[in-house]
Chain A
Amino acid sequence: MSNSYTSDILKPFKLKTKQQELLIRVLILCLVYILAFITRLFSVLRYESMIHEFDPYFNYRTTLYVTQHGFYDFWNWFDYESWYPLGRIVGGTLYPGLMVTAALIYRLLHFLRFAVHIREVCVLTAPFFASNTTLVAYFFGKEIWDSGAGLVAAILIAVCPGYISRSVAGSYDNEGVAIFALLFTFYLFVKAVNTGSLAWGLASAFGYFYMVSAWGGYVFIINLIPLYVLVLLITGRYSMRLYVAYNCLYILGMLLAMQIRFVGFQHVQSGEHMAAMGVFFLMQVFYFLDWVKHMLSDTNLFQEFLRITVTCAVAVGGIALGVGMASGYISPWTGRFYSLLDPTYAKDHIPIIASVSEHQPTAWSSFMFDFHILLFLFPAGLYFCFKRLSDATIFIVMYGLTSMYFAGVMVRLILVATPAVCLISAIAVSATVKNLTVLLRSKTKVAQIGSTKGTSSAKASSKASLDQSQPFQKNGAMALLFGAFYLLSRYATHCTWVTSEAYSSPSIVLAARGAHGNRVIFDDYREAYFWLRQNTPLDAKVMSWWDYGYQITAMGNRTVIVDNNTWNNTHIATVGRAMSSYEDEAYEIIRSLDVDYVLVVFGGVTGYSSDDINKYKLSYYRFGEMMTEYGKPPGYDRARGVEIGNKDIKLEHLEEAFTTSNWIVRIYKVKPPNNRW
């Protein structure tokens, strides 16, 4: 009786099934939103609230500049502390989306009287946008399949390591915002195609604008969407909806993108953007033909007209492209674009692209590492998509396939593929689970109906007879469901483990296990940058390999010769030459660049292998006296595992100025020329 009593009390609160479903859905989304944020906080808890890696330091420095000097000064910022003596027009050579976003968040928080430091905002920008991405993934999934798929997609993308790798707290890089913008643009475009609404088209154009302002990866959008449109045209799915959506996105998106200084007129002048323009004209031809077809009732006449028009259009397009290319008005494809289409291109022609570890072709293990079960849910999802083909599913299939190809070409592009993989996998999971639960439910229902009501027995018997063809259906479905949940829980475990172990180290602080299993922290980089900041003249120029350029300017506040914005290969080559020549020859180059300090990274003491060993003389200076490991001779290099040969290195033009406690960073001072010679 107590049961009925409580149910009486709860009656006013009892919701209808639809409302319950909505409540659960909102609840799940909220939890996913929070989960996506907190799973990215490992690095803050493990280390501290700091900026990671290399590029984020530049982004942080520029964001600081925006908040201090305002937008227009940022837009016109000429930075003479980097690329000495060439300088860099920062405002015109970066994608300002990230900095402006962070600065706006910062302003908003201050407007709301939250006195946070800009660094905290920068550290947490990527997790915040990752949370927003989960919402977009939900709506996108809902748009292409159903709300169930949307929910699963949101959960999958919230913890997917492929995305987390670029969006942990402190990883303040363009990608953190750009993946949100990418998915959002795609979502809005698909929505526009599905509805044919000008408003959604406009929204997608603005989404595209945000993407262009945030990341160079926008080229993927401006090539994928035309490709998608082309496929729809070829498969005979041309519609007015598509016409409206694409033209709106292309024209407005292009005009908006031109407002970004770094992109400028590329949309009309660069080879990478020509596909979009070609498809745009093709759309007009299609529209025109549609109109002619409508006007002409004669099919034969129309066929003839079609042939002439298409030939002419293709010929005119081809000639225009040829003339544009030949006159140099349309620039050819850039090296980075080529290296995507031909993975061996960079290795032969642009070594500086090939030399970056994140530009290497992806190993199978990293697919497994970053996608886990999604790797085999992906083909299953493709199957479901093909089974229920629509404009939206065609889009997601194309997005998935192209981005998977790019992910195979370059490690870092796994990131771009992640949303597509999550969405398609979500379709697989959602469709499977739905089918299985439907089976479970229908059977019990049938049994109930069969036992209680005789009126619908004919219907029931027909279903029962259908079911009888599959024995153990209920148990089978049950087992499969458990299997699915087991896999998903393994996925969650794997993702958390990967996030905590692999993707949450800031790389500026190194951690290792000591001899007794205790945690050893090597904070040598910051030690060295702090030394530079405190002990060198304000206008001192520091030469290092370009990896450390951003960090030296951001943390050491000193002028560098080259940095991670590798825009001038000659300059980098000069520094590389100085670093790898004999001291006398290097000294001349160093003098010509007015260098005051030389900074090298050396891992021989700590066993840190990604160091600058080709600057061996500077690395091994005084190393012969050093005992690195118990039971090994002095001067034993732990990174290479060998004892060095020359233990008595003499320097003529440089002198040691500072070496950090674990010898990871060594700074040398350039001596003035000999006084009497």
Chain B
Amino acid sequence: MGKFWVIFVASISILLPFLCNSFSPETPTDRRVLVLLDDFAVKSSHSSYFNSLKLRGFDLDFKLADDPKIALQRYGQYLYDALILFCPSVERFGGSVDVAAIINFVDSGHDLIIAADVNASDLIREVATECGVDFDEDPSAMVIDHTGYAVSETEGDHTLIASDDFIKSDVIIGSKKIEAPVLFQGIGHSLNPVNSLVLKVLSASPSAYSANPLSKLSTPPSLTGSAISLVSVVQARNNARILITGSLSMFSNRFFRSGVQKSGSSTKYEKSGNEQFLTELSKWIFHERGHLKAVNVKHHKVVETDEPALYRINDELEYSVEIYEWSGTSWEPYVTDDVQVQFYMMSPYILKTLSNDKKGLYSASFKVPDVYGVFQFKVEYQKLGYTSLSLSKQIPVRPYRHNEYERFIPTAYPYYGAAFSTMAGFFIFSFVHLYNK
């Protein structure tokens, strides 16, 4: 028994630094990922995708969606950094997981990948709706494109789409151009116009529409054209990232490996763009790319180095901040020329672009406006694909003290002269009046 304790304590003390390390906010990349499946068959049929994640160091935990033991958190601590929902037909999650738990998981800064499919359950639709996208309400509808379909041996019903309408952002889908179109087979969704955070990453072509491929089209389809999004992402305000797609088969080994030829195009690619597209996208989702941090916000008067408690109007000051980007393994200086600082009180009084030294240090110097009040140094940096930086630091600006004004003003010399000459005149007058009888 005693020996057991020694081993236990020793192993804890060895593991503890690593355990602690896993919680460190210094490494934004996710580590532990929970994958919920409808069926363990998906684990093998989508193994390429999972393997690419494993190779990049992720610790995948596969569970059936209705496993009664699944839990996202224990004792107030989240057990996972990210969640992959490859369970489009689940009606009810097992364990303590439900829609609210998933939403809380996201709202506390964790990432989420949702892949729906034809006949997606209400539960999955609800999660998607919470994230700002609406899947086509018709449960049997699929995205059909009679001009942008992928050419295959059988003519088919044109639900296998080859799409290449990507978002133009190197940060989200990688800097290497995706040559081959991406194969998609599944349901389409539209973005909620109220939601300002959701982005279409892969949209359908203008000729696409969403309908049941088996039945005859009796009414006009509700979703048509490029309003249909095939793959969307959301970056929440707390920088949690969400990927939503209506096709689980996109991630499958079959789609990864199959060649693709878009209808009407003579180029036939040996391999579809799925692997590249989804792998690059997962890098973004799991914060291997496009994650910024700002540290060491400093401000001080031009000649001084200490940060004052408040400024005086018309002071000259310097503001600096260091911005780094996470490369997946380390923090690298972030170099750009569009970071701006505001000196803000209800509206920006000063808006200045920060200059950087290519080592991540951004700085600007300016003069405090001739207005007193409680100002803020604000950096609101929101760039497509990057995590948003929202720094604000409150600083009061006071007016001059009574003894900080100029003591003698040149324009007032006539008045000084008048005052003193009156005094002198009065003295002389009194003297003359009193003694000159």
Interface residues of A (CB under 8 A from B): 72, 75-76, 78, 80, 84-87, 89, 539, 559, 592-593, 672-677
Contacts and interface: CB of A to CB of B under 8 A. Distances in A.
Contacts of B258: none
B237 A673 contact: yes
B410 to A, nearest CB: 21
* Top 9 A-B residue pairs of the complex, sorted by shortest distance between their CB atoms: A80-B396, A78-B398, A85-B374, A76-B401, A675-B107, A675-B236, A87-B373, A80-B374, A85-B345
B210 to A, nearest CB: 24
A252 B346 CA distance: 44
A675 B107 CA distance: 6
Contact of A87 (B106, B131, B194, B372): B372
Contact of B373 (A76, A86, A592, A673): A86
A677 B372 contact: no
B13 interface: no
A675 B237 contact: yes
A87 B396 contact: yes
Contacts of B103: 676
A183 B108 CA distance: 66
Interface string B136-175: 0000000000000000000000000000000000000000
Contacts of B345: 85-86
Contact of A677 (B196, B242, B373, B394): B196
B106 A677 contact: no
B234 A89 contact: no
A676 B401 contact: no
A89 B399 contact: yes
Contacts of A75: 402
Nearest to A559: B374
Contacts of A86: 345, 373-374
Nearest to A592: B346
A676 B240 CA distance: 9
Contacts of A78: 310, 372, 396, 398-399
Contact of B106 (A89, A592, A672, A676): A676
Nearest to A75: B402
Nearest to A571: B346
A87 B238 contact: no
A675 B131 CA distance: 10
B194 A675 contact: no
A255 B230 CA distance: 80
Interface string B392-434: 0010101101100000000000000000000000000000000
Contacts of B396: 78, 80, 87
B195 interface: yes
B79 interface: no
25 contacts: A72-B401, A75-B402, A76-B398, A78-B310, A80-B310, A80-B373, A84-B374, A85-B374, A85-B376, A86-B374, A87-B373, A87-B374, A87-B398, A89-B372, A89-B399, A539-B394, A593-B346, A673-B237, A675-B236, A676-B106, A676-B107, A676-B130, A676-B195, A676-B236, A677-B132
Interface of B: 103, 106-107, 130-132, 194-197, 234, 236-238, 240, 242, 310, 345-346, 372-376, 394, 396, 398-399, 401-402
B155 to A, nearest CB: 41
Nearest to B394: A539
Contacts of A673: 237
A677 B107 contact: no
Contact of B194 (A76, A89, A559, A677): A677
A126 B131 CA distance: 63
A75 B372 CA distance: 16
Contacts of A76: 398, 401-402
A75 B400 CA distance: 11
B204 to A, nearest CB: 23
A87 B130 CA distance: 41
B400 to A, nearest CB: 8
A676 B114 CA distance: 15
A148 B185 CA distance: 108
Given A76-B402, A80-B396, A676-B197, A85 B234 contact: no
Nearest to B234: A676
A675 B194 CA distance: 13
Nearest to A677: B195
A655 to B, nearest CB: 15
Contacts of B130: 676
Contacts of B375: 85
A85 B344 CA distance: 10
Nearest to B346: A85
A72 B130 CA distance: 58
B310 A675 contact: no
A84 B373 CA distance: 8
Given A675-B236, A677-B196, A85 B373 contact: yes
A85 B371 CA distance: 11
Contacts of A593: 346
A205 to B, nearest CB: 19
B399 A676 contact: no
Contacts of A84: 374
Chain A CB count within 10 A is highest, among B194, B236, B396, for B396
A553 to B, nearest CB: 13
Contacts of A677: 132, 194-197
B132 A676 contact: yes
A85 B374 CA distance: 5
Contacts of A72: 401-402
Contacts of A80: 310, 373-374, 396, 398
A674 B130 CA distance: 11
Chain B CB count within 10 A is highest, among A86, A89, A539, for A86
Given A539-B394, A676-B107, 5 more contacts: A78-B398, A80-B374, A86-B373, A676-B103, A676-B197
Contact of A675 (B238, B373, B401): B238
Contacts of A674: 237
Given A86-B373, A87-B396, A539-B394, A676 B346 contact: no
Contacts of B132: 676-677
B392 to A, nearest CB: 9
A64 B173 CA distance: 61
Contacts of A559: 374
Contacts of A676: 103, 106-107, 130-132, 195, 197, 234, 236-237, 242
A593 B196 CA distance: 22
Contacts of B394: 539
Contacts of B106: 675-676
A185 B106 CA distance: 71
A530 to B, nearest CB: 24
Chain A CB count within 10 A is highest, among B242, B310, B401, for B401
B242 to A, nearest CB: 8
Nearest to A574: B346
B287 to A, nearest CB: 16
A428 to B, nearest CB: 48
A72 B107 CA distance: 50
Nearest to B374: A85
A559 B240 CA distance: 32
Contacts of B242: 676
B132 to A, nearest CB: 6
A80 B132 CA distance: 40
Nearest to A76: B401
A197 to B, nearest CB: 20
A577 to B, nearest CB: 15
A73 to B, nearest CB: 9
A561 B242 CA distance: 38
Nearest to B239: A675
Contacts of A675: 106-107, 236-238, 240
Nearest to B395: A80
A156 B73 CA distance: 76
A539 B399 CA distance: 21
A85 B394 CA distance: 10
A90 B399 CA distance: 11
Nearest to B312: A78
A672 B346 CA distance: 18
A80 B374 CA distance: 6
